Amino acid sequence: MRIKSDGKYEYRKDLYDQAGELLGESTRSKGLDASAEFTRRMMKNLERAADHPDMTAELAEILSTPRVTLEYRVESRVQVNE
């Protein structure tokens, strides 16, 4: 697989290097693999977190990114039964 990293995609080199460093990997390839695995697991964990009773709107905002938005809503309803 080839990933464009020239011209307008030049920023990708630094992005992939930084991701690898954060995840303790020394090559871009391993960094991308680790990032993909992290994302796969984190998405499942974010879904669980959204449903957790301790979730708040502030925490949902902190956990959100430009690509992944965690929403938190409190819904209530009053129903009158006759």
Specify if 48 maps to a domain. yes
> How many domains does one find in the chain?
1
Whole-angstrom distance, CA of residue 57 vs CA of residue 78: 22
Residue 33 inside a domain? The answer is yes
pLDDT tens by residue, 52-68:
989 998 999 999 999 89
d(CA 74, CA 10): 43
pLDDT in tens, 15-46: 999 999 999 999 999 999 999 999 999 999 99
For the entire predicted model, the pTM comes to 0.70
Sign of CA dihedral 25, 26, 31, 37: negative
Cα 67 to chain centroid distance, Å, stands at: 7
- Any domain includes 38: yes
Q: Which domain holds residue 60?
A: 13-64
The CB-side HSE value for 59 (13 A sphere, CA atoms) comes to 11
Helix runs in the chain, H state only:
11-22, 28-50, 57-63
